[in-house]
Amino acid sequence: MPILIQQLSHTYLPGSALAYPALSGIDFSIEAGEFLGVIGHTGSGKSTLIQHFNGLLLPTSGSVLVDGLDTREKKLRRQIRSLVGMVFQYPEYQLFEETVEKDVGFGPKNMGLDEDEIHERVFEALSLVGLPPEQFAENSPFELSGGEKRRAALAGILAMRPKYLVLDEPMAGLDPRGRAEILSLVESLRKNNGTCIVMVSHSMDDVAMYSDRIAVLSGGKLAMLGTPEEVFSRGSELLEMGLNLPQATRLVRALRERGVTVGRDYYRMDELEEELIRRYGHAR
């Protein structure tokens, strides 16, 4: 069962002079097991949207159903939050416990699980994020490096075994290797556990590389929804919304301006590289 977003609108401070409509008429669904990229300029409503997926924000009108559970139902919220794991920007700032084990175990403990189950989940989550529990469990989370902290914070969410994992800019501020590690972790969660991934990112290359579908938000509306190929073939519209294009797409456009057309709008560097090599071979 999916996350159904039906005619969702959200207005901050409704009825006041500062009323600000952040989302209007958003209507789509997120399928279980898919990788959905969410892109949009600052202020486009991305963060407002994803906070609806686990009931942190509630619709001003319309509804959000997670596996059929309406987020407006207060009774269901605990259940919804164990289905939908939410990782905010710079999650490492939210570490707070004395040991890594306690920090990662905080979520499962709140779910009311017993000690053994918590322990098992914590160790599983730490192994998943590449922090061997025997080495890290007893450490203070504050002694970890930046990249390790980020992964420990992610483990805290994974320990709840969410069916849907929502990540807001999970790679911000990480070095290239750290970015690659987080991305491959997220991708393997999807592949091996069937976890649905919703990833908000400014990096068009990362979104292009991993997403099955991409949702483009602009001015609080769903401006586009489609495969990376469909979305990035509308490059001029994206640029008008203040978004970037994947680097491969930028090169295709720059070549076109110079009178060289490559078959289609590539959005992955590896595929474009193959095409360019093939083209050069043909030309000779």
Partner 1 sequence: MPENAPFTACLRANYRGGPLFLRRARFTEKKPLAETIIQLVNASFQYAGSEKRALDGVSLSIRRGESVAIVGHNGSGKSTLCKLFNALLLPAEGTATVDGMDTRDEDSTLEIRRRVGMVFQNPDNQLVTTIVEEDVGFGPENLGVAPPEIRARVEQALSDVEMSAYADKASHALSGGQKQRVAIAGLLAMRPEVLVLDEATAMLDPRGRQEVLSTVFRLNKERGMTLVMITQFMEETLGCDRVFVMADGRLVMEGTPQEVFNQRELLEKSRLEAPAFVQLRDGLLAAGVPVSESAMTCEALADSLSRVLPESGSKEEKE
Q: Which residue ranges make up the site for partner 1 (CB under 8 A)?
A: 41-43, 89, 145-147, 172-178, 202, 204-205, 242-244, 247, 250-251, 254-255, 257-261, 263, 269, 272-273, 276-277, 279-280, 282-283
Q: How far is the CB of 109 from partner 1 (least distance, A)?
A: 29
Nearer to partner 1, 41 or 109 (CB): 41
Q: How far is the CB of 69 from partner 1 (least distance, A)?
A: 32
Backbone angles phi, psi at 279, to 5 degrees: -60, -40
Q: How far is the CB of 219 from partner 1 (least distance, A)?
A: 14
Spell out the alpha helix ranges (H) of the chain. 46-50, 77-83, 100-110, 115-128, 133-136, 146-158, 176-193, 204-210, 228-232, 235-240, 247-257, 269-283
Amino acid at 202: H
Q: How far is the CB of 180 from partner 1 (least distance, A)?
A: 9
Please name the residues in contact with 224: beta carbons below 8 A apart, sequence gap of 6 or more: 214, 215, 216, 230, 231, 234, 237
Q: Are the beta carbons of 55 and 81 closer than 8 angstroms?
A: yes
Nearer to partner 1, 13 or 283 (CB): 283
Nearer to partner 1, 109 or 234 (CB): 234
Q: Which one, of 26, 67, 79, lies nearest residue 50 by Cα?
A: 26
Q: How far is the CB of 277 from partner 1 (least distance, A)?
A: 4
Nearer to partner 1, 11 or 54 (CB): 11
Nearer to partner 1, 6 or 244 (CB): 244
